[in-house]
Amino acid sequence: RGEASADPLAYFLVIFSVPKPAVPAKPPNVGAPSPSSPFPPQGLGVGGGGISAPPPSSIPVPIGSHGPSHGGSHSVGHGIGHSVSHAGSHTAPHSGSHGHGGSHSSSGGSTLLGYIGIDTIIEQMRKKTMKTGFDFNIMVVGHSGLGKSTLVNTLFKSQVSRRSAGWARDEKIPKTVEIKAVSHVIEEGGVKMKLTVVDTPGFGDQINNDNCWEPISKYINEQYEKFLKEEVNITRKKRIPDTRVHCCLYFISPTGHSLRQLDTEFMKRLSHSVNIIPVIAKADTLTIEERQEFKQRVRKELEMSGIEFYPQKEFDDDMEDKSDNDKIREAMPFAVVGSDKEYQVNGKRVLGRKTAWGIVEVENPNHCEFAQLRDFLIRSHLQDLKEVTHNIHYETYRAKRLNENGGLHPISSAETQESNL
């Protein structure tokens, strides 16, 4: 020992040649992370266990000499990571908190270690929609006596449309088509909807029905224009009132033969500006065989005339939508019956029409296709009707208007108030 103390190099050789003392058994839960702890075990070796770093207490340090200790800490630290690099110069708890050797995950952060709450955005949207509500505007077109108002009242199970049993004796039949819009707020399950029913009395009731669709087309475009002016305004409203027509129910007379020329002309001119859904009114006047033949004839005539009714084939988003919409297109036009009167049938109160030979149940799929129309119009495609109106028909009108005028000039708040009045 006296010779080794004279030569520092010999001193270190003697120290490291001493047999390594036995390592005591590792206590439980040391070196392995707990299931809830995101930190890796301390003192990991290079390459996942190839070379183990000795604990700081097992490295012999000469008394009063700090140089070799500092050099040893860096030589081992660069080989196994910063967690051991700081082990010789700092305390052990600090080394575990700064360990970079095993803190990075090989998965790149794709696996979440806990619940974040991304899936709650659906619930947030639902709550916001329930607070603000939404608008739905439906137009009914067809000549008088086809039960347009009755069908709309049956659809929404409330008196949302004007009720007219015909023209009174002292009331003159209008010479031109009138546009009457009635709005109601209906609520179901905490969801509020502002429903606007646009009626068109006088359509097809004249001897000369030339251009009788022009007032209807003008009204539809006026709603697009009103929405467009609100959009280009400098100070826009937080929520622009939506009066655009989302759906147009066109009532076909149950003649059992073919479409009238007025029917074909109307749908051809307005099919590119509004979602048209043709329905056969008062289908209880047709037998089952007559109804099927009439539906096939109507579909063929619409196809030959190049009339596209909703849902259009080019707007199918994916194969699932295409499969569902193909079934709907094959069933259209829906043969419907409307009634707001209830009758007792087999111990149940049902909506129906009472005849001499029985009761036609409105919601019975064996009697008519009203239930299919309601499910299609309200329960499965109501939101899609609004989206097609905004993204297709309104955008077509918007692009046309901006190209014609080279862009619309912003309007003042006074003009906005006047237009709303």
The confidence score (pLDDT) of residue 145 equals 87
Q: What angle do CA 189, 193, 199 make, to 5 degrees?
A: 135
Lookup result for tokens 């199918």: 316
Which residues lie across from 193 on neighbouring strands? 134, 186
Is residue 420 one of the residues assigned to a domain? no
In a domain, 74, yes or no: no
DSSP character string of 34-83: -TT--SPPTTPPBTTTTBPPPPGGGS---TT--HHHHHHHHHHHHHH-HH
Residues of the chain with pLDDT under 70: 1-110, 162-176, 406-421
Least Cα distance to 333 among 394, 248, 261, 393 occurs for 248
pLDDT at 141: 95
* Within-domain flag for 221: yes
Q: Which residues of 150-177 are buried (b: 16+ CB within 10 A; e: fewer)?
A: bbbbbbbeeebbeebeeeeeeeeeeeeb
Distance from C-alpha of 97 to C-alpha of 101, rounded to nearest angstrom: 11
Q: What is the pLDDT, as a whole number, of residue 132?
A: 85
Q: Tokens in use for 412?
A: 């003042």
Q: Is 141 helix (H, G, I), strand (E, B) or coil?
A: strand
Quote the pLDDT of residue 393.
Answer: 96
Q: Is residue 75 part of a domain?
A: no
State pLDDT tens for residues 153-167: 899 888 877 654 444
Q: Residue 264: what pLDDT?
A: 94
Q: Given this model, what pLDDT does residue 143 score?
A: 87
Q: How many domains does the chain have?
A: 1
Selection from 238, 15, 269 nearest residue 128 by Cα:
238
Containing structural domain, residue 144: 126-404
Instruction: Tell me, yes or no, whether 91 lies in a domain.
Output: no
Q: For residue 153, tell me if it sits in a domain.
A: yes
| 253-305 per-position pLDDT tens digit | 998 888 999 999 999 999 999 999 999 999 999 999 999 999 999 999 999 99
What CATH number corresponds to the domain at position 219? Answer: 3.40.50.300
Is 413 within a domain? Answer: no
Q: Which of 208, 241, 166 is nearest to 421 (CA)?
A: 241
Q: Is 203 a domain residue?
A: yes
